[in-house]
């Protein structure tokens, strides 16, 4: 990774907190830990903040900085095309095209063959949430608002349904899906959480992305 080359291998464990951050709050918290606990933390934070958010890798996510296990797009390209970069220009273009077509075919095949309602990414994330239901308790809930706490009452979050779904953890606003606190609320009320999941996380949307065939390249 570029950040390791600039700041050394020790920065990796701090950087992974940023990579795995699933909300802006967790992302900012990880930045604070990096700045405080890493010897060159201020310089590393400045380096990361200088990366344009539009250059962060994006795959079926509303805000790619959160929830996507990757650094920026350039670093992803470096990893994907590591061997390809050794080829001469004409061979490189050919190999990149083959790589893109193979990826397109694999994703199209996965989407067409899936019988699941949600994408693998969303399904895996919600499965994690469902395993953690027992940690949360809902208080003072009505049709539009709820206070969700951990069993010990140490941490708490405010969930609101209107004017649009939100939680004080920021995850629903950023990821366009229900966080574990919203899912706990839905479970307590006997409601289905799927209506709060954005359409980009459904297999139907993924299939639509790969439904059109790409014509062969012609001179």
State percent of the chain over pLDDT 90: 2
Task: Give pLDDT, residue 58.
Answer: 39
**In the chain, where are the structural domains located?**
2-80, 84-115+204-209, 120-201
Nearest-angstrom CA–CA distance, 59 and 108: 14
Structure tokens at 93: 């273009």
pLDDT, mean over the chain? 77
What burial letters (b/e) apply to 48-61, b meaning 16+ CB within 10 Å? beebeeeebbeeeb
Exposure on the CB side of residue 161, measured as CA atoms within 13 A: 14
Task: Give pLDDT, residue 215.
Answer: 67
State percent of the chain over pLDDT 70: 76
The stretch 7-17 carries a mean pLDDT of 75
Nearest-angstrom CA–CA distance, 209 and 60: 10
| Residue 26 CB neighbours (<10 A) | 18
Query: Who has greater pLDDT, 40 or 112?
Result: 40
Model confidence pLDDT, tens digit, residues 46-81: 888 887 655 554 333 344 455 444 445 556 666 677
Model confidence pLDDT, tens digit, residues 92-127: 888 888 888 888 887 777 767 767 788 888 888 888
The stretch 131-149 carries a mean pLDDT of 79
Reported confidence tier of residue 13, pLDDT bands at 50, 70, 90: confident
pTM: 0.54
Residue 133 has pLDDT above 80, yes or no: no
Pairing of strands 136-139, 166-167: unpaired
150, 136 Cβ separation under 8 angstroms: yes
Q: How far is CA 81 from CA 15, 85, 87, 118, 160, in A?
A: 22, 6, 10, 30, 44
């Amino acid at each position: 990774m570029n950040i390791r080359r600039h700041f050394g291998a020790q920065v990796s464990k701090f950087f992974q907190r940023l990579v795995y951050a699933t909300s802006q709050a967790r992302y900012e918290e990880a930045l604070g830990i990096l700045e405080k606990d890493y010897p060159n933390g201020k310089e590393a934070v400045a380096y990361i903040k200088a990366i344009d958010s539009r250059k962060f890798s994006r795959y079926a996510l509303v805000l790619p900085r959160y929830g996507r296990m990757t650094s920026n797009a350039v670093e992803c390209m470096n990893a994907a095309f590591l061997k390809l970069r050794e080829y001469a220009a004409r061979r490189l273009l050919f190999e990149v095209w083959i790589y893109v077509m193979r990826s397109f075919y694999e994703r199209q095949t996965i989407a067409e063959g899936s019988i699941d309602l949600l994408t693998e990414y969303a399904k895996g994330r919600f499965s994690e949430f469902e395993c953690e239901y027992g940690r949360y308790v809902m208080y003072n809930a009505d049709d539009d608002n709820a206070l969700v706490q951990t069993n010990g009452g140490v941490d708490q979050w405010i969930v609101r349904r209107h004017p649009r779904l939100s939680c004080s953890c920021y995850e629903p606003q950023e990821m366009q899906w229900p966080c574990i606190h919203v899912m706990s609320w839905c479970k307590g009320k006997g409601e289905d959480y799927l209506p709060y999941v954005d359409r980009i996380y459904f297999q139907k949307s993924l299939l639509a992305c790969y439904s059109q065939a790409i014509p062969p390249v012609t001179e």
